[in-house]
Amino acid sequence: MSTQNQLFKPDGKNSIHDGIEHSPSGGKALIDPTDTVLLLLDHQTGLFQNVKDIAVADLRRNTTALAKLAALIDLPLIITASIPEGPNGPLMPEIQQVAPHAVYVPRKGEVNAWDNALFVKTVRETGKKTLIIAGVWTNVCVMFPALDAKAEGYNVYVVIDASGDPSELASRTTLARFTQAGVIPTSTNAVTCELHRTWNRPDAAQLAELYCMASPSYQAVMESFNKAQEVEDAKQTNNGPKTTRSTTPALAAQSR
């Protein structure tokens, strides 16, 4: 059983079970990790070449971070591609490299993944009612299934910085349509935080690595913290203990 499965229970309360007393209202408005499936749609090399609203390197890194998160916390992950043998190109390989549990659903030419019966069947069979979706392009490959899933009664989140559009205008109009339909825009960092919820867990260091992927500057924060503790440890070793720390040096991650 994964750490995540021990921390959260499918009781609809979305509360943390880590042996610490938490507010009973905490988590009520957040994504419930026990009711969630991740959908990564059409992250294909041909489509990447026309992404203009985000740097492709950032898009790929954020998408990989989401896939790694799914693997770390045993989150169901479904992937698909639009005509991968054509100009849209193959899926980025990083997804299946970091998340070998991902289920690939082939399509038969449908632009909208929700038009594919096998894809929808695969989603339904997870038993989850919350969908986290990212893909390329946002205004087509993400928006079409997001709107259809929302209309079918799913709670739908779209990870904007793990998705990409041909222009800033396309991205802005897509965001407007999402909000009008009740689809919730979010970010890689926010999704990671919502499913993470507490540093009081044994996989804290692995989660910290994901934050460094979504926010590379956070790596510098961790490095500075670690170095400062190393210097203080050296001082105390040479001169004897002078202070009592309020934090442990075990993980820089737990300072977040």
Q: Name the amino acid, one letter, at 154.
A: Y
Contact 124, 95 (CB under 8 A): no
What are the CB-based long-range contacts (under 8 Å, 24+) for 246-255? 251/199, 251/204, 251/205, 251/208, 252/208, 252/221, 252/222, 252/223, 252/225, 252/226, 253/199, 253/204, 253/205, 253/207, 253/208, 253/211, 253/222, 254/199, 254/204, 255/225
Give the strand pairing for 77-80 and 36-41. Answer: parallel
58/60 Cα distance (integer angstroms): 6
Contacts of 167 by beta carbon, 8 Å cutoff, 6+ apart: 52, 53
Active site residue 141: yes
Question: Can you give the C-alpha Rg of the chain in angstroms?
Answer: 20
71/68 Cα distance (integer angstroms): 5
Give one word for 31, left, alpha or beta, with left for phi > 0 and alpha for psi -120 to 50: beta
The active-site residue out of 141, 149, 159, 175 is 141
Q: Which residues are catalytic?
A: 141
